[in-house]
């Protein structure tokens, strides 16, 4: 299934994308694409519904973030060896963890704000993993049973605040609009191997990132097992699994960063595409 949330900001309704690309309203069955609605029993019940029996959503509504009421937005740094190299950093021996604040979450096609005074706002296409079944001390051997599905994430990053102003990476990663998620939450059964997915990103039509999830340093089962030793994972938590090379910071001989008035477009095979316009923050 491809689950989604549609409607105005803060008033999104749960939906399902049918085989013809139409949005179907599932609000009679779940209140939101969030929390317990993402556990295996709930997803199985949804999958048993004939989409043609669900109300058709007319027009072309705004698509919101594909997961609502997110508790934790956990990110993995330097998880592609070639991205670590372009960043001038060593390949980590353990996963590098940081957070994006949930206030950064926005829809896949919403505007991305360049923060006031920023000259180093950057892009990062990433595979998102959405937790469906919570747990602690999860074994790597059954970690995938805890995955509800996958989505596209743009881990927008302000490099000065991330790397040059002391402290942790979090403050450069969590500005408002720095977490476009979606368009769809694609359930785990639809993706044969999440470690064989092409992912890409363009700015103003120029392809900067062109990678594949097979080059991850730490794969999804290892990440889930590791994270579940640090914290309990809960339904609706999101793990952003790192980015391949081609970020603006790593471009030679001179880094390239975003400015207002540009268009980002990005996608992952089988998971859909995003498109964001950059605007100056008020």
Domains in the chain, ordered, with CATH?
A: 67-280 (3.90.850.10)
pLDDT tens digit string along 139-150? 999 999 999 999
How high is the pLDDT of residue 91? 85
Q: Would you say residue 87 has pLDDT above 80? A: no
Q: 91-141 pLDDT, tens per residue?
A: 889 999 999 999 999 999 999 999 999 999 999 999 999 999 999 999 999
DSSP codes, 78-90: S-BHHHHHHTT-P
Confidence class for position 166, pLDDT limits 50, 70, 90: confident
The pLDDT of 140-161, averaged and rounded, is 98
Q: What is the pLDDT of residues 40-84, one digit of tens each?
A: 999 999 999 999 999 999 999 999 999 999 999 999 999 998 787
Summarised one tens digit per residue, pLDDT across range 15-45 is 999 999 999 999 999 999 999 999 999 999 9
Mean pLDDT on 159-167:
92
173, 165 in Cβ contact below 8 A?
Answer: no
Average pLDDT over residues 230-257: 96
What the block records as the tokens of 125 is: 């296409």
Indicate left, alpha or beta for 35 from its phi (over 0: left) and psi (-120 to 50: alpha).
left
Could you give the CA distance from residue 22 to residue 158 in angstroms, rounded to a whole number?
36
């Amino acid at each position: 299934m491809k689950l989604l949330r549609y409607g105005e900001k803060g008033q999104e309704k749960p939906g399902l994308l049918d085989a013809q690309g139409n949005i179907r309203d599932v609000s009679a069955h779940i209140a939101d694409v969030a929390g317990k609605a993402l556990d295996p029993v709930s997803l199985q019940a949804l999958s048993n519904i004939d989409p043609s029996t669900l109300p058709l959503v007319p027009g072309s509504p705004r698509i919101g973030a594909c997961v609502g009421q997110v508790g934790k937005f956990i990110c993995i740094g330097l998880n592609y060896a070639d991205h670590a190299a372009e960043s001038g950093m060593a390949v980590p021996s353990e996963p590098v963890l940081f957070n994006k604040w949930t206030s950064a979450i926005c829809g896949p096609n919403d505007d991305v704000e360049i923060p006031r005074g920023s000259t180093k706002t950057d892009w990062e296409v990433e595979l998102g993993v959405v937790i469906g079944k919570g747990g602690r001390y999860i074994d790597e051997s059954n970690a995938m049973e805890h995955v509800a599905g996958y989505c596209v994430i743009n881990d927008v990053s302000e490099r000065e605040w991330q790397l040059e102003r002391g402290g942790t990476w979090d403050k450069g990663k969590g500005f408002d609009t720095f977490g476009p998620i979606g368009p769809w939450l694609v359930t785990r059964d639809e993706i044969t191997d999440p470690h064989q997915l092409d992912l890409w990103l363009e700015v103003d039509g120029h392809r900067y990132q062109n990678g594949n999830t097979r080059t991850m340093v730490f794969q999804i089962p290892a990440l889930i097992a590791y994270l579940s030793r640090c914290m309990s994972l809960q339904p609706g938590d999101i793990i952003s699994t790192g980015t391949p090379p081609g970020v603006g910071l790593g471009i030679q001989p001179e880094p390239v960063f975003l400015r207002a008035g540009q268009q980002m477009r990005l996608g992952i095979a089988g998971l859909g595409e995003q498109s964001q316009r950059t605007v100056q923050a008020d």
